[in-house]
């Protein structure tokens, strides 16, 4: 069965870049969300077993999404993909339950190595 993957980013350019970085051999069903609220809805609907999550977004940012996932105990493996590369930002999202952190601009090798690390490929 295909893995439901959610790409949550307010930039359509960034969503496309992320989608392109996913390895073609990975059997996935990709959905897109353009802010945190929409992202949460899709996660609740089971469309985000694996989530690539941006941090700076309108309405609800990535931190808010992570907090809600923890609070509601939602089933989602979250990998944060952000331009905020401050070590503090990485520490904060890891504390909030994110599995890993990819710096923007995305490079495919990094994405693949993280997916392999967690046995997703």
Partner 1 sequence: MTNQLITEDQRDCYQELSNVAMGQAADRLAQLLEAYIILPIPKINIIAPCDLHMALSGVDSEDKASSVCQGFIGSGIAGEALLIFNDTSFSDLASLMKYKGELDDQTQLELLMDVSSVLIGACIQGIGSQIDVSFSQSHPVVLGQHVSVANILQDEHTHWDQSLTVEIHYTIENMSVDCELLLLFTEDSIAKLNQRIDYLLD
Q: Which is nearer to partner 1, 46 or 105 (CB)?
A: 105
Dist. CA 44–CA 2, nearest whole Å = 17
* Closer Cβ to partner 1, 3 or 56, answer by number: 56
The CB-of-10 to partner 1 minimum distance in angstroms stands at: 7
Question: Could you tell me the smallest distance in angstroms from the CB atom of residue 49 to partner 1?
Answer: 26
Minimum Å distance from CB 73 to partner 1? 28
Secondary structure of residue 44 in the 3-state scheme = helix
Give the full edge-to-edge strand order of the sheet including 100-103: 28-33, 3-8, 50-53, 77-82, 100-103
Torsion of CA 23, 67, 104, 26, to 10 degrees: 0
Cβ proximity to partner 1, 83 vs 97, nearer residue: 83
Q: Where do contacts with partner 1 occur on this chain (CB under 8 A)?
A: 10-14, 55-58, 82-89, 104-105
């Amino acid at each position: 069965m295909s893995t439901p993957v959610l790409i949550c980013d307010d930039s359509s350019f960034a969503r496309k870049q992320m989608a392109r970085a996913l390895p073609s051999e990975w059997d996935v069903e990709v959905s897109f969300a353009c802010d945190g609220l929409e992202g949460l809805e899709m996660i609740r609907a089971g469309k985000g077993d694996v989530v690539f999550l941006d941090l700076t977004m309108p309405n609800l940012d990535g931190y808010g999404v992570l907090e809600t996932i923890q609070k509601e105990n939602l089933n989602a493996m979250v990998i944060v993909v952000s331009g905020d590369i401050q070590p503090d930002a990485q520490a904060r999202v890891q504390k909030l339950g994110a599995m890993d952190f990819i710096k923007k601009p995305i490079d495919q090798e990094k994405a693949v190595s993280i997916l392999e690390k967690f046995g997703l490929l």
